[in-house]
Structure 1
């Protein structure tokens, strides 16, 4: 099989992986705190007939760290982060992280995500406040007060830039390296009454999809032409 066919097939595989990420991103356009999936491609070089032949790798998927738009909701149990901080939640036996700060309160006063996962404080314990203690006020450092009385603080964490993020349900991620408590609240500000939207741009994704479809068609055409050429060569070299 000629190197041209391998190159074309590798391009098709790469395009297919990119298509999957675009589909996931578009499906989560309205998911609060969602971070887009991206694909990092690398060039692979192989020796063929004494010459270097470049192939496109299938690519490595990673999660974008770019922030999404922060929109006002007026709900005192909605919070967003301006900066790189993440909220911590209990996901089964695992600590997961999210930028989706929409919360509700259980009858016992436990703050939870809309999917029912406990919001954690700096020590990794669930945040619990007084369900009858009055209006909830959340400071820019995540501190919580009711009737001017401090009742807790929402943990805010930094995930290492080189950590690989594994996706969980919705906007949850689990890093492969430990997250650290935020120390500088001037660069990581908690905003009460706001929610961060997905960092997915619909126009950008549609533009990528159109370009991807064209690239896939070109690769498919190249595969077809290579197969036709190979078939013709076999017929010409075959028994007369």
Structure 2
């Protein structure tokens, strides 16, 4: 569904004044890096398709072991930063793009730290270009689930939040296929193991609370 929406958005953009602006996944990713130099994913992706490569870990430097999962057709990518040595805490970055009813892109950025292959903390942000420039709109498109679902303190995640900052106990998994999110609570949340689906409402350009997810959570957290 997101792939079809993306293709339709490309056609809409081609007929509108915004036609010259990037609409492909990597073009949007790189545009966001310029628009939001601090806080957005620092990893540099060169090339495209099967020839795409990732570099630029600010957590572990040039020795970081990085892996890129790139699905341009479905507007999804994942970067696994396994650190510079055995025992380092892995860091996962996911990016996905939705398109609202007017064809404007909504870019999701989910980041989380792992112990082994199990998340222990994460954060999520959403950016919209509906105004003609990128704006952080997380609170407008996503319910706050730190307190409501995981019963933990709400994390203030700003535009410049980066690295290990602002990580909470609500882990948001972005979809490689489909349009809905999964949110899972992790320890020490009193609701650890609890999950909730967030359903994409394209007409409203936001996510709404859906059904509870039956556990256990989908760990180990691996590229899919």
TM over 0.5: no
Instruction: Compare CA radii of gyration and give the structure with the larger one.
Output: 1
TM-score with structure 1 setting the length:
0.28
Give the number of the structure whose residues are more often helix, by fraction. Answer: 1
